[in-house]
Structure 1
């Protein structure tokens, strides 16, 4: 007996009709789908899943899963048409190919309709999907379809080509260069291209090709309020299509004087570049002999705008990060290097071109109280903020140890112990060079770092072969590893180049090749330190690719400074009474050679007082250093260094006292005097000048 609900068209009858509809769709190779817009979830029935190549339970409802089955060259055009349908609240009809798990390609046709709520807001998309392979194979014999497929393939190739061209770009300049290349114009069949970037209420032209210089110059930076096509595209967020020059002159009068230069230009498009719902720029293209844009061409240009916008947004973020990183790095480097008579120097720091651009390379220079100069370059392991922070601490520690007067090897050893105690799990390499600009005496200490390059006065170059120790920070806690010190003489007119390994290391070459290349660059460069540093960085950048940050320090001793003979250093032995007499004779002879004879009597007296105090109270050897002070007229500086950290004290001296008058004499006869802590001892100094007549 037939169910009464079925006879009267009740629920059972309606269910039968729905089932029959699904069966009919499946028989014809069709299925249905529902796309819930608020959640983004896509629902396919069993027939639709079969068309899309999904087995039972394989589809997770995500749009990205569908995109993985589609061809990458066709995906941007499909997305553009769907976006347009959602914007206009209409529908779409799409043909695209699906790659099944077996690798077979199938043409698929999808037709959808946008359903809105009571407020005209898109709520869901319903539609059908079907296998279009037979249909397209039947029509494929016609010339019209073959031409359409060629056009579609060409348009997809254009998007694919531009995507490939933008993949290696990093900075905004890279993006501008890629988009304005001649090969891109050929691919697009365009006669000119211009790229503009939004900057604080203005649009700035950052790249162009095929435009007159006058036009680029006059509209290089324009307000977004002006009647200009790029500005209009940014303001309205819609592409601007122009089909002839008369229309261009009518809509944008300020461009009329420049249009005669485009004698063959017939059409133009100005596409807004929108990233994260924010206009960041615009792209303009002009075409020779073109009178209109087809629907497919407009779709491709819209897809092109999205691809360019994503790359430009990524480049903007990189440039900001790189600027911040470079600012942090530069803030941790010394603001200036000291000026020392007899020495010329130059320093350079170049951040890496990789993302972030921050590292642990550094340089530093300081002048010691006795006139010697300490130059340092180093590299902390890693390329991150931690490496930069450790670099800043290590640079300051090295500077402090050197300023205390420790020997060069001790400075490096203490810095290694300091880095170990920081417990950062980072190590560092370092090269320290101590130079006396008057004599050229040079002490070199190397800790796992490249040695210096010596450029002699005649222009010949060599790497100095100096022994080295372990990198800093690899010693055990509480110990100070030994670092050998090498001594040499830097001749007049000679220069030393100190650098980090980023200057010579290339990804696809042995470091030895980079070292040889650097020798040739230094030998072929100018002699002046600033020019030499720029020359070396420029010539080596093409070889290394700027993949690592680089610190460079160049120090050059003057050719005709005349300072080499105006410094005297004499040891005074506590076990040799004659050494003090020998020091007085050497001082008298030196002052006579320097034409400072009138200072001899006072200088000898004070030198004896300083040396005697050191021998009596320090209970060890001492060193007398005498140097000419040229910028104070006839003047000489006397300094006695000993191993005692105790500073001299002035004591009251009676008529019968045998001591206590030394500092009184120094105060009375010297123009100035002082005591400097040297870490492992002290230096007492004074300056003797010619009294005014």
Structure 2
């Protein structure tokens, strides 16, 4: 074994005598920043010449030949790859070539290149490794710069991708809820490299939190609706309109003491940024992002984050405008629909209107229900072409017109024909579909008239469902004002326990499926739905929404005849002809009998007097047959008797100031004095004069 300097990893100085070829070679290597080495595998010692020692940054005599000492100068992250390549060369009895970095005593990192060759004994076993080592800093400086440039480009690409990911995510959002849900998904957090996100919007001087992910629930609870003056990161960003950058948990506590209990769980190296959301020079909200494992924000990244805030602000403003428009449209639509459904004895009713999710959220769908003469109930469903304010305005006019025509007592077919002429005369170039059902709750007899609208759906008492094939005519408004279109009627009986559904096509139509699929799905939803119309209406909207995508507004009206024995109608009807002198006397006698059956005999004298006055007045001034109807009604928590006399004259009765010499003119004054209410209703080609007399219980 060598002694002296060689024992410390230095070559034998005697081997470097002048004129020695080996010495000359080593001098040449040293001049070129290179050196040679020998690694004896038996004792594991490395023997470096002076050139090798210099390349590795050791002072003369400092290197002890141990692999561990050499490893201390190398970067730990690179050692596993170096060891793997050397071991492979030993196994394969081959050579190896390595580039690695060495940290010199002054802290500088220098690239180094080692090329070694494995020497084997006569048995083929490795005994030593010889090679050269050189300084490769100059060679790899350009490589370093290229790598740095590559990393910079990669970082810029990553930052641009962050903005792109957020922008792509927010493009399809419409409402504020859509925006909050899209921003707080775990997938988006992963794409932008953040560990948590919180989103707030400015609402009347407060910060309303609208979405979060990775934020403690107690923090959201305690700081929801914080005033903008409070020292909090979100409120500060919105108040100052400047991004707030926080570089670690101590920074959190120092700047916002109120957050100390909530940030204890954060890692020490946790940075955050809070970006103001500014639209049209107004701070409308703020968004906060938290990052773990970092403590700074380079300038380039700060620029990208500010751009990210602008993208989110634009989407937030769009969502706010959409929600405002949608709220206004829904309010307008609701104002044009019935405030409440009538209380129809022997019938359960429920109606729903759901606006479309499309921009504007307004359409021409409507429903209506009204009480008609003789205890009948009218139900209407319709859809005006278009989804705009004009469609809603036409819908309001058409609904009122249909209601008026039905209340006048016209047959359902005439009501629909007149409504079509009315729409044509509006000169709007819009058409409408409509379905009218007139139902007698006491018998279940129902008459349908359809104008281009989807058929009604029936659920029988046994739970089976079917579409009723109602013959129909053209949609309303498609004929000239001079023509009276023909709409056929269709009659059927609604059994006790049966449910009738009238709806617009938005409940079942989808852009991705044919209409037959939607019709079949609606039958299934109706078959499995609850019995009561109120619960059934909600069930149908919920069950069908995932398939229709709420792309169209929806109106529906559900009517159900309750199960059980149906009480006979408490109603008297008598026709009195002017040519039959006994008709009025017979009507008075029938009224007396009916009042006794209805337990209203206390009203007998008053009812008989009012009946005579109304019938006589009609017979004297019309000359045609007169129809008397009577029946008990509920009024103000008590019972009353309703009397009605219908004739074929459109002329209304008038009160007159009768003197002692006049033999007539006191009839309506008498009606006004004895009845609690009276009135005149037009009925098609005639009118009905009615009055009500309350039963006063002693």
TM superposition shift of 1:310: 1.8
In 2, are the aligned partners of 1:347 and 1:533 still within 8 Å (CA)? yes
1:310-340 superposed Cα distances (whole Å, 9 cap, x missing partner): 2222222222222222222222223223223
1:239 to 231, 243, 262: 243
Pick aligned residue for 1:155 from 122, 146, 159? 159
In 2, distance between residues paired with 1:290 and 1:400?
72
> Greater CA radius of gyration, 1 or 2?
2
The offset of 1:685, in angstroms, is 3.5
Q: 1:416 to 1:326 in 2, by over 3 A?
A: same
1:404 is aligned to 2:423: no
Q: Alignment partner of 2:270: what SS?
A: strand
- Aligned mate of 1:346, from 339, 343, 350: 350
Using a 3 Å threshold, how does the CA distance of structure 1 residues 206 and 674 change in structure 2: closer, same or farther? closer
Q: Tell me, yes or no, if the aligned pair for 1:440 and 1:492 is still in contact at 8 Å.
A: yes
Deviation at 1:168, TM superposition (A): 0.8
Equivalent residue in structure 1 for 2:682, among 674, 677, 693: 677
Aligned position for 2:495: 491
> Partner residue of 1:20?
none
Structure 1 pair 529–265 and aligned structure 2 pair: CA distance change class (3 A)? farther
Aligned-residue offset at 1:193: 0.6
- Of residues 557, 563, 567 in structure 1, which corresponds to 2:561? 557
- Hey, what does 1:471 align to over in structure 2? 475
Partner residue in 2 for 1:86: none
Give 2:52's aligned residue: none
User: Structure 1 pair 583/288, CA: closer, same or farther in 2 (3 Å)?
Assistant: same
Structure 2 portions without partners, runs of 5+: 1-141
- Residue 212 of structure 1: CA displacement? 0.5
Q: 1:460 to 1:580 in 2, by over 3 A?
A: farther
Residues 1:154 and 1:667: Cα distance change in structure 2 (over 3 Å): closer
Per the TM alignment, residue 442 of structure 1 is displaced from its structure 2 partner at its CA by 2.5
CA offset at residue 354 of structure 1? 0.7
C-alpha displacement of 1:624: 3.7
Question: Aligned runs of 1:24-423 on 2, under 5 Å?
Answer: 142-263=146-267, 266-368=270-372, 370-423=374-427
Measure the CA separation in 2 of the matches of 1:226 and 1:668. Answer: 70
TM-superposed CA distance for 1:602, in Å, is 7.6
The 2-side partners of 1:573 and 1:216 are apart by 79
Alpha-carbon RMSD across the aligned residues, in angstroms, is 3.4
Residues 37-71 of structure 1: CA deviation (Å, up to 9, x unaligned): xxxxxxxxxxxxxxxxxxxxxxxxxxxxxxxxxxx
Contact preservation (8 Å) 1:212, 1:261: no
In 1: Cα distance, 2:481 partner to 2:171 partner: 47
Residue 103 of structure 1: aligned partner: none
8 Å contact 1:348–1:552 — kept in the other structure?
yes
Shift, 1:562, TM fit: 5.1
Deviation at 1:219, TM superposition (A): 0.9
- Do the aligned residues in 1 keep the contact of 2:269 with 2:295 (CA within 8 Å)? no
Change (3 A) 1:505 1:321: same
Structure-1 separation of matches of 2:518 and 2:660: 71
**8 Å Cα contact 1:439/1:563 also seen in 2:** no
Q: Distance in 1 between matches of 2:507 and 2:177?
A: 23
SS at match of 2:263: helix
What is the alpha-carbon distance in structure 2 between the residues aligned to residue 278 and residue 190 of structure 1?
27
What do residues 583-631 of structure 1 show as CA deviations (whole Å, max 9, x unaligned)? 7787677556555677778867876776676566544444443323355
- In the alignment, is the contact (CA less than 8 A) between 1:440 and 1:564 conserved in 2? no
Secondary structure at the residue paired with 1:551?
Answer: strand
SS of residue in 1 equivalent to 2:234: helix
Distance 1:262 1:441, change over 3 A: same
Q: Give distance in 1, aligned partners of 2:578 and 2:406.
A: 27
Using the TM superposition, give the Cα deviation of residue 674 of structure 1 relative to its aligned residue in structure 2, in angstroms: 4.7
Deviations 1:77-128 (A, max 9, x none): xxxxxxxxxxxxxxxxxxxxxxxxxxxxxxxxxxxxxxxxxxxxxxxxxxxx
- Closer/same/farther in 2, CA of residues 265 and 205 from structure 1, 3 Å limit: farther
Contact 2:248/2:268 (<8 A) preserved: no
Residue 664 of structure 1, CA deviation: 9.3
Is the CA contact 1:240–1:270 (under 8 Å) kept in the aligned structure 2?
yes
- Superposed displacement of residue 557, structure 1: 3.2
CA deviation map 1:395-435 (0-9, x unaligned) = 22222222222222222221111111111111111122223
- Counterpart of 1:25? none
Instruction: String of CA shifts for 1:182-224, please: whole Å, max 9, x gaps.
Output: 0011112221111111222222211100010000111111111
Number of residue pairs aligned between Structure 1 and Structure 2: 555
Matches within 5 A, 1:513-528: 513-528=517-532
Which residue matches 2:646? 641
SS of residue in 2 equivalent to 1:176: helix
The alpha carbon displacement at 1:257 in A equals 0.8
Separation in 1 of the partners of 2:660 and 2:288?
95
* Distance in 2 of aligned mates of 1:671 and 1:271: 69
Deviation at 1:655, TM superposition (A): 12
2:672–2:678 contact (8 Å) kept in structure 1: yes
**Whole-angstrom distance in 1 between the partners of 2:270 and 2:313:** 26
SS in structure 2 at match of 1:260: coil
Q: 1:446-490 CA deviation, whole Å, 9 max, x = no partner? A: 111122222334443322222222111112122321222223333
Instruction: Quickly say closer, same or farther: Cα 1:342–1:375, change in 2 above 3 A.
Output: same
| Equivalent-residue separation in structure 1 for 2:400 and 2:332 (angstroms) | 16
- The structure-2 alpha-carbon separation of the partners of 1:166 and 1:513, relative to structure 1 and needing over 3 Å to count, comes to same
Match of 2:458 in 1: 454
Q: Secondary structure at the match of 1:547?
A: coil
Deviation at residue 278 of structure 1 after TM alignment: 2.4
SS of equivalent to 2:264: helix
Mapped partners of 2:283, 2:693: distance in 1: 72
Provide the secondary structure at the position in 2 that maps to 1:183: helix
Structure 1's unaligned 5+ residue stretches are: 1-137
Q: CA deviation at 1:636?
A: 4.1
